[in-house]
Amino acid sequence: MSFDLVLFGGTGDLAWRKLMPALFQAFRHGTLPEGGRIIGIARDDLSDAQYRDLIRSRFDGVDLAKRPSPEEFERFAGLLHFLRLDLSRPEDYGRLAQMLRERHADVVVMYLATAPDLFSQVVQQLAAAGLNGANTRLVLEKPLGHDLASNRAINETVRSVLSERQIFRIDHYLGKPAVQNLFAMRFGNALFEPVWRREHISHIQITIAEDLGVEKRGAFYDKTGALRDMVQNHALQLLCALAMEPPINAHADAIRDEKLKVLRSLKPWTAEALDQHVVRGQYAAGNVNGQPVKGYREEPGVDPESRTETFVALRTEIASWRWAGVPFYIRTGKRLGSREAHIVVNFRETPHAIFSAPPGSTNRLIIHLQPRDGLELHLLAQGSQENRRNGQVLAPVHLDLDFDKRFGSERVGAYERLLLDVIAGRLNLFVRSDEQEAAWRWVEPVLERWRGEERGPRPYNAGTMGPSAASAMIARDGFCWSEEC
């Protein structure tokens, strides 16, 4: 199958950090279909050779195992081409159309790795140039809009020129091997289904923590914030994977129908819930991994008086028979004490304890997403003689399954998997427009409350796990974050 992958923003940060390395790995693994062509699009004045040199330099600092040999890159570079294009000039799209019609590829992928406010303009220009045929597939990066109205406007524009089956709204978390294992764990094994419900689970925590700050993205991030950047998409997609009912099959719409039901079942926000169950923070100067770092307001591109949140913690519930009364806690932030993403499923205590055990040592399942990928199942077992002398018959033990060690080089990165799925036309791991709208509808009351508040985000020192109010929020329910218990 021949394909053309047209990468708008071909010299940008996303292409540089994620997309080109993923495409190269697919090429190296032999999974990238033959007869392909990758066309970088940007305003830079580059020849094909200069663009290939630019991409070659991307690999200078990567691990040796992922670095191509000169011969290997030369073969990959044969796929790379460049076209200078001004997104505001219709005649430039005509040049792109001519370039694509030279060989009539079976599939044409338009990947918009640009600012979201350019999506509608680019899509309309593509249609005007006749580049919205049945073989076209459009990839839209997040954030898709900055609120419900802008999200709807973009989706309406895109749907006016392309069918839903041609639109791939990408959330790279859905491509992570650990998230794929979450689906496999739930729907490929009979072990967990009987206990995956309110009668056995006390609460669930979702943590996406970053130790980095905003880096060179200060101007972008200051208009976005953690709620839009992480909660509205990544965190809610993880919540859907945890809480959805088993789909009737593995087809894309069957899976996305069940995720949509979860989003529509999230309890709506009340004034009291917004006061008690949402915490926003902003990092101040501190120490991360032994190095002093500046505060958010001192970062390049950030307003010195900024009220943008770099941390969010919230509590929600799902109004369904399976999950009624089970709190879900979501926490994400920048410049935290560690870089890790994990889910902790906390099970209820036994209804009648006949053994003594250390306080707080209940059963729990930890699903690690990054930097490691695996499962930990925490149980109680017969303790040592010392435990028995202290009156504790049971002691905590855990089973640890490390998927990286188990599968090693067989693992496929998130963007590699998703790019191959786009070329193949598989929609299972992409987000449908009604999912996005339901997520925006749920977070909008939080954004509106923050706009009306006089007090800005709560400060927290870089290198900590966020403001103390986040710990107080979960403590009101009698629980604690996993690292604090």
142 annotated as a binding-site residue: yes
Q: Which domain holds residue 153?
A: 3-169
CATH number of the CATH domain containing 208: 3.30.360.10
- Decide which of 216 and 166 is more confident: 166
- Other C-beta atoms within 10 Å of 321: how many? 8
352 is annotated as contributing to ligand binding: no
Mean pLDDT of the chain: 92
In a domain, 480, yes or no: no
- Output phi, psi for 407, to 5 deg: -105, -20
Q: Are residues 127 and 179 in the same domain?
A: no
Question: Into how many domains does the chain fold?
Answer: 2
43 is in an annotated binding site: yes
Q: Which CATH number fits the domain that encloses residue 104?
A: 3.40.50.720
Say how far apart CA 62 and CA 77 lie, in whole Å: 17
User: 17 versus 471: which is more confidently predicted?
Assistant: 471
Question: Is residue 385 pLDDT above 70, yes or no?
Answer: no
- When pLDDT is cut at 50, 70 and 90, the band that residue 124 belongs to is very high
Domain identity same for 157 and 196:
no
81 is catalytic: no
Residue 408 has pLDDT above 80, yes or no: no
pLDDT at 467 over 80: yes
CA distance 431 to 418: 12
Q: Are residues 199 and 141 in the same domain?
A: no
- pLDDT greater at residue 473 or residue 215: 473
157 and 185 housed in the same domain: no
**Measured CA distances, 448 to 279, 420, 451, 467 (Å):** 14, 38, 5, 21
Q: Outline where 229-378 has alpha helix (H).
A: 236-243, 252-265, 271-276
Is 164 marked within a binding site? no
Confidence of residue 390 (pLDDT cuts 50, 70, 90): low
Residue 482 lies in a domain: no
Q: Is 347 found in the same domain as 236?
A: yes
Task: Give me 477's structure tokens.
Answer: 């329910």
Out of 136, 169, 202, a domain closes at: 169
Annotated ligand binding at 86? The verdict is yes
In 303-435, the DSSP E strands lie at 311-316, 328-333, 340-347, 364-370, 374-382, 394-402
Do 144 and 196 lie in a common domain?
A: no
Considering 120, 143, 169, which residue would you say is the last residue of a domain? 169
pLDDT value of residue 406: 81
Does residue 409 surpass a pLDDT of 60?
no
What pLDDT was estimated at residue 70? 86
Q: Do 56 and 186 reside in the same domain of the chain?
A: no
373 and 448, same domain (yes or no): yes
pLDDT tens per residue across span 317-363: 999 999 999 999 999 999 999 999 999 999 998 888 788 777 777 89
Task: Give yes or no: residues 163 and 210 share one domain.
Answer: no
Domain presence at residue 367: yes
191 touches 317 (CB < 8 A):
no
Share of the chain above pLDDT 70, in %: 96
Res 388 pLDDT > 80: no
208 and 353 part of one domain? yes
**Judgement on whether residues 158 and 214 belong to the same structural domain of the protein:** no
Confidence of residue 202 (pLDDT cuts 50, 70, 90): very high
314 and 356 in a single domain? The answer is yes
pTM above the 0.95 mark?
no
Give the SS3 label for residue 137: strand
In a domain, 124, yes or no: yes
- The one-character DSSP state at 193 is G
* Annotated catalytic residue, options 81, 203, 234, 277: 234
> 51-65, 129-143, 148-162, 237-251: lowest mean pLDDT where?
51-65
| pLDDT greater at residue 38 or residue 387 | 38
